[in-house]
Amino acid sequence: MKAAGSMQGKLGLGVALTAVAGAAHALAEPWQLNMTPGVTQTSREVYDLHMWGLYVCIAIGVVVFGAMIVAMVKFRKSKGAVPATWSHNTVAETIWTIVPILILVALAWPATNIMIKMAYTEQSDMTVKITGYQWKWGYDYLNVGEKPYHVHFISRIDPRSDRTRELRSGQDPWAVKDKDYQGVERNTYLLDVDHPLVLPTDTKIRFVVTGDDVIHAWWVPQLGWKQDAIPGIINDDWTSIHEPGIYRGQCAELCGQDHGFMPIVVKAVPKAEFTKWLDEQEALATKADAPAASPTAAPSAP
Amino acid sequence: MTTHATAHHDDHHDDKPHGFLHRWVYSTNHKDIGTLYLIFAFIMVCVGAAFSGVIRTELMKPGLQFVQPYFFNEMTTMHGLVMIFGAIMPSFVGLANWMIPMMIGAPDMALPRMNNWSFWILPFAFFLLLSTLFIPGGAPAGGWTMYPPLSIQGGDSVALMVFSIHLMGISSIMGAINIIATILNMRAPGMDLLKMPVFVWSWLITAFLLIAVMPVLAGAVTMLLTDRYFGTSFFNAAGGGDPVMYQHIFWFFGHPEVYIMILPAFGIISEIVPTFSRKPLFGYQAMVYALASIAFLSFIVWGHHMFTVGMPLGGELYFMYATMLIAIPTGVKVFNWVSTMWGGSMTFEAPMLWAIAFIVLFTIGGFSGVMLALVPADFQYQDTYFVVAHFHYVLVTGALFAIIGAIYYWWPKWTGRMYNETWAKVHFWWSAVFVNVLFFPQHFLGLAGMPRRIPDYNVAFADWNLVSTIGAYGMYLTPFMFFFILWHSKKHGAPAAARAWEGAHGLEWTVPSPAPFHTFSTPPVIHDEDLAHGDVSH
């Protein structure tokens, strides 16, 4: 936190870009050039680190490419340049070995701080299990605080996107639209699902991530990370979303023919609304006697 | 005089074998085998480019217009395998075959018959691999990285792919043994290790990397084979195995493999830049040590390919720090190339243009590499088009540009004819523009959130994908340009002098152009001023 804070101070431009880009956009914009800062503290720190790395690279690039351009203009045979015969310079070589080390430390320091915070999944308020299947996502709400839940559902690509994405379907990807959280119509082609993952805002949510068949990766860019969903392995992550909204992502690890067609939608709602929704789902889930029947218990929208 | 004596001596028994079979199939001549490698690589570049043509055409606009998603995955997989193992690696081996004996004053490779076998295994390896396109179940579709469990869900393409990789591995290992044996045993008297051209150094180090890691790859794919056909569970969680273990093994091969594809390019650039700057390479020994450091580091950074698999925090921190260290020797190389240019007397013939483009564009690939090393940022970049842009900058504008530069550079030596400089400049500028139109927007796509290896995407990604596809179509003209320029030169090019480039140093320029069929049958008497680096004091 400290590192990121001081970094933001150093990176006035980064902050300005952050404001312009607007954290609330859950979808990429046409011609978008850069990462967006996202909607969690983590994602903003990751974004600042990304911008810090980018500025460092641009600065080095200006120096190195600038020197090349000067050399190419000044030391041309056509301008009568006579070649020098020197071929080493201990001072220069020492400088350009030491200076990069300092630059790397300046990059690694904030990265390390962010990593330590991202890895700390303890003291969470609730736990959701994410399972990757070929080619859909399974979500289990395991507990909120001390209270266990039994809500489970499968989240698939929405039928309109699914029809449109068929080979030579004749349907227009631009026509697949849905209202976003603010009620504005936006294109959701391949980025919409039948049942979104509903989460509360301002809550530390722990995810346990696994795969059922092959390796998938659960990625919502606005949350600031992705995690591989691997059969036989359980990984854990956490997030705490600040702004209510609909945040969209996709599977990010090649998982077979429909890898491109297993989107992720997170619907972040205020805590009270979430609790009401979850309790309704819990009632539905526990009403069904056989646990095997629960996967088909589709949640209703909150 | 050395040149004259050598030429005369060689002419005396310049007995090229007669007949196609004897000349090419039975060949034990390093120059002919080098040519075979380069022709093979050129064909494979065209095949790999055709696969990418399917990919870029399908990605031109949203919606699926041309191919089914599974076939798309076959194309991405085959594009990767063919370009890496069929195009880039054989090109470098071809250049090594042609140039290393001539650069160190050796009559041929140390093991000429094995050299023949190293090459002639390759067409069979790629016959196996490419035949999978025509078998039931199609070609491998699990990505060139072949991650299980997905990669072994395929049909019998799994077996053919594994056997083909075994063959490629045998070919590479034999080639590497041959190169090491040649460099360590066959240097002419006076060619001390620290007087060797940097290209030879780069290949000596690369050959050790090959010997170290190709068996690891062979082992990994063999375990895939037994998991698929013989009921083992190396990578099957249900049987007590671990899918992540495959990734550790694969990338223990895979990261040195990345440097196998770039170290010889560093060597090439270190030959071309001093020649056209008319100034000795800056910091020769630092360049050699940098190559060795990069090679060493390549063995201890594999985890940065798999930051998202859920390694413990300590492991991720270690791999991040170790990876960032690579920037230091790589930086030394770039700074030294620029310092070589500084104070020189530069001309900009085609090889130099490709070398300068290499330095700029490879450095851009290095920058995105540094960004990718930052673990939290990598959590966003991993498996997106940002990564695709990164590795195409280091492999296309890096490795491939260096190879093209090397071919223009040594072509007069090989054929005795100059190419047409104007057309070569058109070829260069056309490539330099379109390769950036092709790959630079992929950075934007990745940062905006487009995953790699998907056949279709949201409309927000449509514009940059269209731009990228236009760039790709521009690039598809370049193999034809290159072929035409070289063919024209072979038929009608102006005769080349022995020292084809004014500022060129090194033993290869002391023999006539075209180089006789046998060179240095008796070891040359080396004059230090003939060498690019005749002074071992620094």
**Dist CA B10 CA B132 (whole Å):** 46
Angle between helix axes A12-21 and A2-10 (nearest 10 degrees) is 90
pLDDT tens for A48-68 read: 999 999 999 999 999 999 999
Q: Do A64 and B343 touch (CB under 8 A)?
A: no
Cα angle B52, B46, B213; round to 5: 80
Torsion, CA A142, CA A148, CA A151, CA A152, rounded to 10: 30
Judge whether A298 is closer than 8 Å to chain B, CB to CB.
no
**What span, in angstroms and rounded, lies between the C-alpha atoms of A142 and A210?**
14
A41-74 and A2-10 helices cross at what angle (nearest 10)? 40
Provide the edge-to-edge strand list for the sheet that holds A235-239: A147-155, A136-144, A126-133, A205-211, A235-239
In this complex, is the C-beta atom of A170 within 8 Å of any C-beta atom belonging to chain B?
A: no
Question: Which residues in chain B land under pLDDT 50?
Answer: 1-12
Residues of A in contact with B335 (CB under 8 A): 64, 92-93, 96
Distance from CA of B27 to the nearest CA of A (A): 41
- Residue A298: pLDDT band with limits 50, 70, 90: low
- Given the DSSP bridges, would you call strands A245-251 and A263-269 parallel, antiparallel or unpaired? antiparallel
Helix and strand totals (H; E) in chain B: 20, 0
- Give Cβ neighbours of residue A86 (< 8 Å, ≥ 6 apart): B343
Residue-wise pLDDT for A257-279, tens only, equals: 999 999 999 999 999 999 999 99
Chain A CB contacts of B320 under 8 Å are 108, 111-112, 115
Q: Which long-range contacts (CB under 8 A, 24 or more apart) does A145-150 make?
A: A149/A278, A149/A282, A149/A285, A150/A282, A150/A285, A150/A286, A150/A291, A150/A294
- Answer whether A96 sits within 8 Å of B332, measured CB to CB: yes
CA distance A38 to A29: 14
Q: Is residue A8's pLDDT more than 50?
A: no
How far apart are the CA of B243 and the nearest CA of chain A, in angstroms? 7
* B243 contacts A215? CB cut-off 8 A: yes
Please report residues of B whose CB lies closer than 8 A to that of A209. 310
pLDDT for A296 equals: 47
CB proximity list for B471: less than 8 A, separation 6 or greater: B434, B435, B436, B437, B438, B439, B441
A198 strand-pairing partners? A267
At B66, list the tokens: 């041309």
Residue of B nearest to A107 (CA): B374
Interface residue B377 vs chain A (CB under 8 A): yes
Chain B neighbors of A165, CB-CB under 8 A: 63-64, 456
Mark yes or no for CB contact B338/A83 under 8 Å. no
CA of A97: how far to CAs of A299, B336, B344, in Å?
A: 59, 11, 23
Structure tokens at B494: 């102006």
Residue of A45, A174, A260 lying closest to B455 (CB–CB)? A260
Complex-level ipTM = 0.93
Q: What is the spatial distance between Cα B126 and Cα B138, in angstroms, rounded to a whole number?
A: 15
Under 8 Å between Cβ of B291 and B263: yes
- At A16, is the pLDDT very low, low, confident or very high (cuts 50, 70, 90)? very low
Residue among A67, A165, A214 whose CB faces B149 most closely: A214
Q: Is B79 annotated in the active site?
A: yes
Give counts: helices (H), strands (E), chain A.
Answer: 6, 12
Contact B188, B523 (CB under 8 A): yes
The answer to whether B62 contacts A82, with C-beta atoms less than 8 Å apart, is no
Return the exposure string of B380-412: e unless at least 16 CB atoms fall within 10 Å of the residue's CB, then b: bbbbbbbbbbbbbbbbbbbbbbbbbbbbbbbbb
**Residues B54-108: pLDDT tens digits?**
999 999 999 999 999 999 999 999 999 999 999 999 999 999 999 999 999 999 9
B residues 72..131 contacting A (CB < 8 A): 73
Token pair in block for residue B220: 């990994």
Paired residues of B173 in beta bridges: none
Are B345 and A87 within 8 A, CB to CB?
Answer: no
Q: Which residues of B touch A113 (CB under 8 A)?
A: none
CB of A114 within 8 Å of a chain B CB? The answer is yes
- Quick check: bond before B514 cis, omega within 30? yes
- Predicted model pTM: 0.93
Beta strands in chain A, from DSSP E residues, in sequence order: 126-133, 136-144, 147-155, 177-179, 185-187, 197-200, 205-211, 216-220, 225-229, 235-239, 245-251, 263-269
pLDDT over 70 percentage in chain A: 86
Contacts of B313 in chain A (CB under 8 A): 115-116, 119
Q: How far is CA A269 from CA A182, A183, A202, A254, in A?
A: 12, 14, 10, 31
Q: Is residue B333 flagged as an active site residue? A: yes
The DSSP H or E segment spanning B320 is helix B313-325
| A18-27 mean pLDDT | 49
Taking alpha carbons only, the member of B320, B331, B269 closest to residue B294 is: B331
Secondary structure of B167-196 in HEC code, one letter for each residue: HHHHHHHHHHHHHHHHHHHCCCCCCCHHHC
Does the pLDDT value for residue A211 go beyond 90? yes
Residues whose CB falls within 8 Å of the CB of residue B206, separated by 6 or more in sequence, listed in order: B92, B176, B259, B260, B263, B264, B295
Establish if B332 touches chain A: CB-CB under 8 angstroms: yes
**Closest partner CB to B69 (pick from A27, A251, A260):** A260
Which residue carries 């243009």 as its tokens?
A: B353
Q: Any catalytic annotation for residue B61?
A: no
Q: Is B74 a catalytic residue?
A: no
In whole angstroms, what is the distance from residue B377 CA to residue A114 CA? 10
Q: Which of A83, A168, A255 sits opposite B279 (nearest CB)?
A: A83
Annotated active-site residue B279? The verdict is no
pLDDT digits (tens, 9 = 90+) for A143-173: 999 999 999 999 999 999 999 999 999 999 9
C-alpha A246/C-alpha A186 separation (Å) is: 11
* CB neighbourhood size of B217 (10 A): 23
Angle at which helices B112-131 and B30-58 cross, to 10°: 20
Selecting among B52, B77, B118, B172, the annotated active-site residue is B172
- B179: number of CA atoms within 13 Å, CB side? 32
Q: How far is CA B429 from the centre of its chain?
A: 21
Whether residue B430 is preceded by a cis peptide bond, meaning omega within 30 degrees of 0, is: no
What's the mean pLDDT when you consider all of chain A? 88
Instruction: Tell me the nearest-neighbour CA distance from A279 into chain B, angstroms.
Output: 32
Nearest to A174 among B241, B331, B459 (CB): B459
Q: Which helix (H) or strand (E) holds B90?
A: helix B89-104
Taking CB atoms and an 8 Å limit, are A108 and B316 in contact across chains? no
Structure tokens at B92: 């470098």
- Residue A300 — pLDDT band, cuts 50, 70, 90? low
In B, minimum Cα distance to A87 occurs at: B282
pLDDT band at A288 (very low <50, low <70, confident <90, very high): low
Write out the H or E segment, with its range, that includes residue B31. helix B30-58
Paired tokens of B445? 């796509």
